Amino acid sequence: MSIASLMAAVAKLLPLIFAVGFLAPLISQSLTAIGWSVPFGNLSFGLAVAIGWGLIAQFKGRWI
């Protein structure tokens, strides 16, 4: 596998990488900061929302 094909594969997954690496912790920390708690954990909730939103962005090609 060449570097170019590896970079192309990573570029295709950027919405999911952004969702897991940035949105999930942001959602989790936001819930913690306002004092809300969900039964299965704020990070799990953040991951679920972020991955769902990232998959929508992955398939539609846009975030909104």
pLDDT band at residue 61 using 50, 70 and 90 as cut-offs: confident
Among 54, 52, 45, 63, which Cα is nearest to 19's?
54
DSSP 19: I
Among 14, 8, 10, 9, which Cα is nearest to 62's?
14
| pLDDT tens column, 39-57 | 999 999 999 999 999 999 9
What residue segments make up the domains of the chain, in order of their start?
3-60
| pLDDT tens column, 22-38 | 999 999 999 999 999 99
Please give the model's pTM, rounded to 2 decimal places.
Answer: 0.83
